[in-house]
């Protein structure tokens, strides 16, 4: 479906703190200064916190939208390894591909979002897409062709957690809309793997609690986060109270669609688009 970029851009801009983050003025010196900060964080840490991106008077609108669709989340409780793959008995027991941890949380798929709500408007906004591309030092980014995964809500109820894992897409952009009363900290290890090299020994150190590379990030309501999750191992620890995060998916190449196995685990369903895309191989040679 083709969407008019002007309408969502205008609607999205009304929710952005443009004094702090002037994404509507990409040629301005203020935009350049903020962009330099974000780029530095991504280069050095693989993660950038864009604080106070959403105006405070718009936070309730995002929270209401997400709270309204959160009951439609598909919750799962399973043991996963960092790659969401099946066990391989040919490998040693300590190998990261054989290290499974409890993963308990829920996801709301993109087709559950209101068509003209704030989340989809922001996702499709030309200004927002340009800012994300500039932050990642990319000429252009593309919205997903995946009918379920372009924008999702991650719902974590009290006591639930996201286990150590890598993302299937190269990076994610997320917006915290509900913060737990305690806990729910985001932990990550920047650049732990790279194209063609899984760096299994270093991953094993993280899983064993022996790595000194783990970083910690506590987000506030309205904070935007850009994170290179395909290359940085990460998790969200258990918290007290519910945690809601809207996740926006963009790709460097057009036509991105998630794998059948992983899509089924996350959403408990797949579409014909996922089945048709299964024949393609990831260009970076890494495991999903």
CATH of residue 137's domain is 2.60.120.620
Confidence bin at 2 (pLDDT 50/70/90): very low
The predicted-structure confidence for 223-274, as pLDDT tens digits, reads as follows: 999 999 999 999 999 999 999 999 999 988 898 888 888 888 888 898 888 8
User: What value, to the nearest 5°, has the Cα angle with vertex 215 and ends 31 and 225?
Assistant: 35
Inside any domain, residue 286: no
Inside any domain, residue 283: no
What percent of the chain is predicted at pLDDT more than 70? 93
Inside any domain, residue 69: yes
Q: What's the pLDDT score for residue 169?
A: 75
pLDDT at 65 over 50: yes
Strands (E), 180-260: 182-183, 186-189, 215-217, 224-227, 233-236, 239-240, 243-251
Inside any domain, residue 39: yes
Provide the number of structural domains found in the chain. 1
Domain of residue 100: give its range. 6-277
Q: What's the pLDDT score for residue 9?
A: 63
Inside any domain, residue 282: no
Q: State how beta strands 215-217 and 186-189 pair.
A: antiparallel
Inside any domain, residue 1: no
CB 273 within 8 A of CB 257: yes
Q: How far apart are the first and last CA of the chain?
A: 27
Over residues 48-74, mean pLDDT: 96
Q: What's the pLDDT score for residue 282?
A: 58
Q: What's the pLDDT score for residue 23?
A: 97
Inside any domain, residue 259: yes
Q: Which of 49-53, 136-140, 190-194, 262-266 has the lowest mean pLDDT?
A: 262-266
Inside any domain, residue 237: yes
Confidence bin at 216 (pLDDT 50/70/90): very high
Q: What's the pLDDT score for residue 178?
A: 97
């Amino acid at each position: 479906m083709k969407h008019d970029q002007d309408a969502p851009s205008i609607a999205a801009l009304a929710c952005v703190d443009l004094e702090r983050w002037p994404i509507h003025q990409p040629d301005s010196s203020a935009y350049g200064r903020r962009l330099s900060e974000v780029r530095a964080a991504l280069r050095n840490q693989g993660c950038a916190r864009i604080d106070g991106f959403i105006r405070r008077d718009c936070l309730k609108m995002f929270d209401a939208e997400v709270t309204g669709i959160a009951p439609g989340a598909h919750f799962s409780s399973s043991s996963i390894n960092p790659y969401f793959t099946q066990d391989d008995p040919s490998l040693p027991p300590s190998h990261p591909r054989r290290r499974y941890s409890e993963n308990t949380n829920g996801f709301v798929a993109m087709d559950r979002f209101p068509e003209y709500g704030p989340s989809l408007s922001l996702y499709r906004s030309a200004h927002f897409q340009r800012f994300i591309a500039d932050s990642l030092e990319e000429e252009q980014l593309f919205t997903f062709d995946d009918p379920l995964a372009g924008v999702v809500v991650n719902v974590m109820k009290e006591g639930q957690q996201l286990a150590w894992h890598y993302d299937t897409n190269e990076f994610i952009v997320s917006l915290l809309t509900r913060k737990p009363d305690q806990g729910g900290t985001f932990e990550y290890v920047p650049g732990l793997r790279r194209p063609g090299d899984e760096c299994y020994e270093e991953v094993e150190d993280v899983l064993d609690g022996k790595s000194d590379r783990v970083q910690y990030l506590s987000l506030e309501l309205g904070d935007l986060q850009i994170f290179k999750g395909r290359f940085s191992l990460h998790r969200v620890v258990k918290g007290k109270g519910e945690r809601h995060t809207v996740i926006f998916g963009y790709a460097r190449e057009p036509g991105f669609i998630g794998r059948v196995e992983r899509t089924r685990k996350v959403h408990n369903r797949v579409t014909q688009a996922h089945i048709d895309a299964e024949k393609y191989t990831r260009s970076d040679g890494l495991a999903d």
